[in-house]
């Protein structure tokens, strides 16, 4: 597996987002199947595993801890605070005392003494970013976490946070069909020596070519509330996939592999973390590290799928108000 530097850690160029093993896309797989996938990822060379207190309201951290604690020395562990389940509801809370309490709960669920990379999952706009990052810095000094990350923030907020304590990673959505990173954060992370961790790098399955009908999505699938997956918008977006499939064929790889290879080519500081519930998809995704695409292919991809050719916003308006990333 190709390696990339993430602060003090050397990690696999493609990590594993663990969210959908417990959260977000309808009924999760049985725990034993989820555990098999985590262990298979480790066997295949994945050394960055990403979870959060929010995912399954703690269930995902428990799964990762239960399964991977015996192998703790073999991988870099990332989790998140600042957005979690409270009385069955998702709550954004960046107050220092809350972040420190969440960390203690996560350490217990993850069965570890220290979390390698700990993100502020969302900036709570009621709390100055300096105060939230200050709390994370306290956790570093206490030996509870090793490094600090942020998620879904703008370049300006990233710079404010980085002035309080060095930020190791920024985790924002980035893929061919979500280009907000190109409005500032991709360049800011490069300039500051921060790793850009790309979540939803396969556009929540759109770029795999395997999701052709959104009508069958589970009632609790979060994509049902995302404008890009509304029937009319999705029908328009599907028209992009025929040409994308042809490009993948030209590159001698699958559509998912081409989407991930495009991200890897965006910069040595970019680390995508695709998630999946199926081992065959895991193996396919990791194969992207061996795909090489030239400048001509990059240009063809950029022209085909971008902010102007994709229909619909990535989030509904209520969610858009919660986040801090730049928008077109």
The span from the CA of 69 to the CA of 110, in Å, is 7
Q: Which one of the listed residues 55, 119, 174, 234 is annotated catalytic?
A: 55
Task: Tell me if residue 55 is catalytic.
Answer: yes
Nearest 10 degrees: Cα torsion 246, 251, 256, 257: 180
Residue identified by tokens 């404010």 is 160
Angle (CA) 131 317 241, round 5°: 110
Beta strands in the chain (DSSP E): 3-6, 9-12, 16-17, 48-50, 76-81, 83-86, 89-92, 115-120, 145-151, 169-173, 195-199, 270-272
The two tokens of residue 255 are 């559509």
Q: How many CB atoms lie within 10 A of CB 124?
A: 21
CA distance to 182, 185, 205, 303, per residue, from 298 (Å): 15, 20, 20, 9
Query: Which run of H or E residues covers position 40?
Result: helix 31-43
The two tokens of residue 198 are 């790309």
Catalytic residues: 55
């Amino acid at each position: 597996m190709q390696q990339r530097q993430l602060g003090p850690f050397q990690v696999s160029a493609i990590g594993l987002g663990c969210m959908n093993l417990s959260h977000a896309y309808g009924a999760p797989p049985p725990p034993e199947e989820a555990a098999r996938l985590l262990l298979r990822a480790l066997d295949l060379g994945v050394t960055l595993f990403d979870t959060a207190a929010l995912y399954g309201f703690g269930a995902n951290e428990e799964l990762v801890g239960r399964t991977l604690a015996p192998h703790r020395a073999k991988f870099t562990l990332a989790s998140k605070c600042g957005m979690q389940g409270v009385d069955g509801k998702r709550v954004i809370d960046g107050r220092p005392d809350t972040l420190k309490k969440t960390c203690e709960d996560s350490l217990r669920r993850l069965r570890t003494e220290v979390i390698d990379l700990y993100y502020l999952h969302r900036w709570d706009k009621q709390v100055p970013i300096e105060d939230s990052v200050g709390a994370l810095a306290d956790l570093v000094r206490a030996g509870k976490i090793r490094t600090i990350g942020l998620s879904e923030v703008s370049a300006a907020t990233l710079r404010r946070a980085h002035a309080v304590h060095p930020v190791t990673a920024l985790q924002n959505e980035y893929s061919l069909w979500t280009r907000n990173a190109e409005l500032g954060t991709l360049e800011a992370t490069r300039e500051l020596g921060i790793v850009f961790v790309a979540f939803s790098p396969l556009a929540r399955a759109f770029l795999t070519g395997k999701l052709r009908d959104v009508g069958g999505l589970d009632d609790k699938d979060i994509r049902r509330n995302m404008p890009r997956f509304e029937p009319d918008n999705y029908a328009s977006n599907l028209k992009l996939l025929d040409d994308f499939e042809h490009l993948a064929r030209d590159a001698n790889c699958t559509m998912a592999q081409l989407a991930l290879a495009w991200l890897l080519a965006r910069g040595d500081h970019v680390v995508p973390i695709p998630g999946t519930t199926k081992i065959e998809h895991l193996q396919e995704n990791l194969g992207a590290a061996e795909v090489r695409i030239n400048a001509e292919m990059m240009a063809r991809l950029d022209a085909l799928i971008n902010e102007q050719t994709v229909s619909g916003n990535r989030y509904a308006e209520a969610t858009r108000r919660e986040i801090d990333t730049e928008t077109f």
